[in-house]
Amino acid sequence: MRSHGFMVYDTLFGLDADFKVQPQMVETYTVSADGMEYSFTLRDGLKWHDGTPVTSKDCVASIKRWGARDGMGQKLMAATATLEAVDDQTFTLKLQAPFGMVLQSLAKITSNVPFMMKEEHALTSPDEQVQEVVGSGPFRFVKEEFKPGVNAVYVKNEAYVPRQEPASNTAGGKVVHLDRVEFAWIPDTNTCANALMAGEIDFIQVPQADFLPKLKAAAGVKVEIFDPLGIQTVARLNHLQPPFDNPKARQAVLWATSQETALRAAAGNDPELFAVCPSMYPCGSPLASDVGSDPLLKQDFVKAKQLLKEIGYQNEPIVVLHVTDDFIISNQTLATAQNLRKAGFNVDLQAMNWSTLVARRAIKKPASEGGWHIFQTWFNGPDFLNPLEHMAIGAACDKAWFGWPCDEEIEKMRAAFGAEPDSARQKELAQAIQKRAYEVVTYVPLGTVYQPVAYRADRLEGLIKSPVPLFWNVRKK
Amino acid sequence: MWQYIIRRLLAIIPVAGVIAVFVFLLLHLAPGDPAAVIAGNTAMPEDVARIRVKLGLDEPIYVQFVTWMKQLLRGDLGESIYSNMPVTRLIAQRMEATLCLATASIIIAILLAVPMGVLAAWKAGTWIDHLVMIFAVFGFSIPVFVIGYILIFGFSIQLHLFPVQGFVSLREGLGPFLRTITLPSLALGIIYAALIARITRASVLEVLAQDYIRTAQAKGLSSGTVLIRHALKNASVPIVTIIGVGIALLIGGVVVTESVFNISGLGRLVVDAILSRDYPVIQGIILMSSGVYLLINLIVDISYKFLDPRIEY
């Protein structure tokens, strides 16, 4: 969906290769001295795929629609007093409360991305799907050829006016050299790899780890890591249910964890495909830090057992939800279960597919009544770039992400981070939040897995390195 | 005869009704929540709750059932929860590939199995018979995806004779169509052929032991005439039965074959729908498959009359 969005729609701002915010649809913008008023002017020549010009009214409606659904967007809208079109190319945003993440919010590249759409479409209820796909991005969607679950077809948007800067992540000039791009869903990973090797397809977004050696050895095929942040793998504990309503039990899990074991289980033994990462923000990103991570990095079953003894753990079953249809989550869950057993937990591993898990994890009842204690998943790196976006670091009790950690201190610091315009101070706050999150154990970071892409290097050039597969700048050799 | 056909056609209605109830209950009582799948990993609990309300999944199960049945009685299978497209349109988009695959598989299976089974019976106890039975055992024992991967490795990766994956419609030319349909239908057909070959051999063997066959041979008829006109025709009722019953096997095989060869047919549609709990799509496809299955059984029953005039309805 996100890749589809970047093909068809454009964004006001993009992120460059260093994850710095750069204007995209916006030509110029100004920020008042107190950081409370923003004015944005759109570039000349922006047009929708139906030929009508992009106006500031379209952008205002699009931001409001996105702001009703996205977590960062909701925070931005909560801090916003007015968001208004001044003329066809200019609109202003006035804050009622300090919010230091305005530009970062508008430049975000992961769910949900603030794509700009026509006002008439953006006015659709945020809970309803927009039926027409009319963007202003570098490619046009060919609705007539769309087969859900099979393929989506895009053709070059001849009217698109790219920026002059070189392409860099989602920022810079989106110059299209391909007349037609087809996204094909190939569910069988073996078939997908074979199709690439046989030259029937040109690019695989996520080749399965088992096939990487075969793909690396194939003539004309290149396997490369495009996403410098990787995916962040996590174990989530249910803070509502004993024993994990007690921080000591959660810390016991931290002491029992070995990121390296979890990562090798998920990514194999190729060190290029994983990295131990003690930071709750992606390693290599601006806010990354190892503060507070000692228990995670020094696996110690004796300490874990001692903590369980202190809380009087009586061998009650710990229900661990085991997703079997995701290679990474499945293998990591098995590694976690093994470490928990070694630490003295009585693990009840319950196998299920992902769609069952997403329903089960919403249940707040005790495990004996259909609830759970631990589940594992992963997030894209950009989801964790700052404590405001970071779903797993938050501790807003009932309003927190599944697992419902509850810590007033963390939430106060997150709010302060959001209001803070100064990047140095933001970094201090981010570290303080991480330190506290490790104490509370809002979640257990299990490290970074790098998922390479595989493509026909003998046919394609100019692919952009980004967490999102992007197809502007790409040429056929 | 016509009364029988009409009676059988009418009997499809209550059977389809029972299937509809079971399918609905099984799906809705199984764990999983389409709202949670739609909302995605980063959704908050309130997002999931809002989508549940929008989809009507917060209603009691009997209300959801009545709503669906009302739609069904109007001939409306509903809309996909994910693509918002009508289920009938989704099925229509995928029907051609599955029909082509199933038909080609049956043709390959019959063309392979019937001669093999007849030959094995005719040469019972010889190396030909043993060879056919070894084929039957292997064909029936090896999963379709293994056969699929072996065919892909041999004919696509090594010999470059066929594409690894995909499906090209017959409308785009016979050549491209045959190139994409050959390997998948061979993979599926082999399994089916193994089953038919075994039954054909057993039936023909039984008939060959009958007195009238001996009489025919004593009259001086050629081996071919005895085998085709006298033995095979009288052995055909169990063979036709197994071909009909095997359609169910074929439906299961299509799901796997379509995944292995990346054919965008109904099999893949139903797998994707099950994984994402797209209830209307699953219900629609199961209902349609059940209808097809019932119809094929009817055709098989009717064919008995033509194969064996002693059978009366």
> How many structural domains is chain A composed of?
2
Q: Which of A87, A108, A138 is the last residue of a domain?
A: A138
Task: For strands A90-95 and A37-42, give the pairing.
Answer: antiparallel
Q: B180 pLDDT band (50/70/90 cuts)?
A: very high
Structure tokens at B143: 């999963």
* d(CA B286, nearest CA chain A) in Å: 18
Contacts of A129 in chain B (CB under 8 A): 84
Contacts of A402 in chain B (CB under 8 A): 45
**CB within 8 A of A46, min separation 6: which ones?**
A10, A25, A53, A54, A136, A161
Asked if residue A163 belongs to a domain, the reply is: no
A133 with A235, same domain: the answer is: no
Q: Nearest CA to A123 among A61, A80, A57, A79? A: A61
Confidence check: pLDDT of A280 > 70 = yes
Confidence check: pLDDT of B43 > 80 = no
A257 with A403, same domain: the answer is: yes
A228 versus A91: the higher-pLDDT residue is A91
Supply the pLDDT for residue B156.
Answer: 93
Contact: B32, A356; criterion CB under 8 Å: yes
Give the integer Cα–Cα distance in Å for A204 and A331.
22
CB-based contact A40:A93 (threshold 8 Å): yes
Q: What's the sign of the alpha-carbon dihedral A241, A243, A249, A254? A: negative
Domain ranges of chain B: 2-73, 90-307
ipTM value: 0.75
Lowest mean pLDDT, pick from A443-447, B126-130, B232-236: B232-236
Q: What is the pLDDT of residues A314-346, one digit of tens each?
A: 999 999 999 998 889 999 999 999 999 999 999
Give the integer Cα–Cα distance in Å for B106 and B184.
12
Contact: B160, A399; criterion CB under 8 Å: no
Contacts of B82 in chain A (CB under 8 A): 148
Contacts of B36 in chain A (CB under 8 A): 355, 358-359, 361-362
Lowest mean pLDDT, pick from A299-303, B143-147, B234-238, B257-261: B234-238
B54 versus A36: the higher-pLDDT residue is A36
Asked if residue A292 belongs to a domain, the reply is: yes
DSSP letters of A66-117? HHHHSHHHHHHHHHEEEEEE-SSSEEEEEESS--TTHHHHHT--SSSP-EE-
A285 with A397, same domain: the answer is: yes
Average the pLDDT over A132-159 and give the result.
93
Asked if residue A252 belongs to a domain, the reply is: yes
Confidence check: pLDDT of B272 > 90 = no
Q: CATH homologous superfamily of domain B90-307?
A: MetI-like (1.10.3720.10)
B232 versus B154: the higher-pLDDT residue is B154
Edge-to-edge order in the sheet of strand A453-456: A203-204, A453-456, A221-224
Confidence check: pLDDT of A234 > 80 = yes
Give the H or E element holding residue A228.
Answer: none
Contacts of A127 in chain B (CB under 8 A): 50-51, 54
Confidence check: pLDDT of B252 > 80 = no
Average the pLDDT over A231-253 and give the result.
96
Confidence check: pLDDT of B40 > 80 = no
Average the pLDDT over A421-443 and give the result.
95
Residue in chain A closest to B262 (alpha carbons) equals A186
- The CATH number of the domain holding residue A79 is 3.90.76.10
Residue in chain A closest to B161 (alpha carbons) equals A198
Supply the pLDDT for residue B88.
Answer: 92
| Side chain identity, residue A105 | S
Q: What is the pLDDT of residues B97-116, one digit of tens each?
A: 999 999 999 999 999 999 99
Q: What is the pLDDT of residues A28-83, one digit of tens each?
A: 999 999 999 999 999 999 999 999 999 999 999 999 999 998 888 999 999 999 99
A113 with A244, same domain: the answer is: no
Supply the pLDDT for residue A80.
Answer: 96
CB-based contact A444:A277 (threshold 8 Å): no
Average the pLDDT over A8-27 and give the result.
95
- A interface residues, B as partner, C-beta within 8 Å: 69, 71, 111, 127-129, 131, 147-151, 184, 186-188, 190-192, 194-195, 197-198, 200, 325, 352-356, 358-362, 377, 379, 383, 391, 399, 401-402
Q: Which domain holds residue A42?
A: 2-138
Supply the pLDDT for residue A325.
Answer: 85
Average the pLDDT over B271-275 and give the result.
86
**CB within 8 A of A37, min separation 6: which ones?**
A31, A92, A93, A94, A95
Asked if residue A265 belongs to a domain, the reply is: yes
Collapsing DSSP to helix, strand or coil, B143 comes out as coil
Supply the pLDDT for residue B296.
Answer: 85
Collapsing DSSP to helix, strand or coil, A153 comes out as strand
Q: Which of A117, A138, A159 is the last residue of a domain?
A: A138
Contact: A194, B165; criterion CB under 8 Å: yes
CB-based contact A273:A209 (threshold 8 Å): yes
Structure tokens at A322: 């085991």
Q: What's the sign of the alpha-carbon dihedral A216, A220, A225, A227? A: negative
Lowest mean pLDDT, pick from A173-187, B64-78, B180-194: B64-78
Asked if residue A153 belongs to a domain, the reply is: no
Shortest CB distance from A360 goes to which of B31, B46, B260?
Answer: B31
Supply the pLDDT for residue A365.
Answer: 92
Cβ-based contacts under 8 A for chains A and B: 111
Q: B74 pLDDT band (50/70/90 cuts)?
A: confident
Confidence check: pLDDT of A290 > 90 = yes
CB-based contact B56:B71 (threshold 8 Å): no
The answer to whether the bond into A169 is cis (omega within 30° of 0) is no
Q: What's the sign of the alpha-carbon dihedral A283, A284, A285, A290? A: positive
Confidence check: pLDDT of B16 > 70 = yes
Average the pLDDT over A223-234 and give the result.
94
Supply the pLDDT for residue B313.
Answer: 67
- The CATH number of the domain holding residue A441 is 3.10.105.10
Q: What's the sign of the alpha-carbon dihedral A140, A144, A147, A148? A: positive
Contacts of A352 in chain B (CB under 8 A): 31
Shortest CB distance from A186 goes to which of B40, B83, B165?
Answer: B165
A260 with A400, same domain: the answer is: yes
Asked if residue A108 belongs to a domain, the reply is: yes
CB-based contact A391:A377 (threshold 8 Å): no
Give the integer Cα–Cα distance in Å for A337 and A318.
10
Across chain A, mean pLDDT equals 94
Give the integer Cα–Cα distance in Å for A38 and A81.
12
Contact: A148, B90; criterion CB under 8 Å: yes
Beta strands in A215-286 (DSSP E): 221-224, 231-237, 274-275
Average the pLDDT over A6-10 and give the result.
97
Q: What's the N-to-C CA distance of chain A in angstroms?
A: 28
Asked if residue A330 belongs to a domain, the reply is: yes
Question: Which DSSP letter does residue A349 get?
Answer: E
| Highest mean pLDDT: which range of A234-238, B220-224, B252-256, B280-284 | A234-238
Contact: A402, B47; criterion CB under 8 Å: no
Shortest CB distance from A355 goes to which of B85, B268, B276?
Answer: B276
Confidence check: pLDDT of B286 > 90 = no
Give the integer Cα–Cα distance in Å for A59 and A62.
5
Supply the pLDDT for residue A59.
Answer: 97
Confidence check: pLDDT of A306 > 80 = yes
| Side chain identity, residue B174 | L
Supply the pLDDT for residue A214.
Answer: 92
| Highest mean pLDDT: which range of A423-432, B201-210, B283-292 | A423-432
Shortest CB distance from B157 goes to which of A69, A194, A379?
Answer: A194
Structure tokens at B11: 């009997």
Give the integer Cα–Cα distance in Å for A24 and A40.
11
Confidence check: pLDDT of A445 > 90 = yes
> Which runs of consecutive H residues, i.e. helices, occur in B142-232?
144-151, 174-208, 211-218, 223-225
A266 with A126, same domain: the answer is: no
The answer to whether the bond into A151 is cis (omega within 30° of 0) is no
* Phi-psi region at B56: left, alpha or beta (left = phi > 0; alpha = psi -120 to 50): left
Phi, then psi, of A154 in degrees rounded to 5: -130, 140
Asked if residue A304 belongs to a domain, the reply is: yes
Contacts of B271 in chain A (CB under 8 A): 187
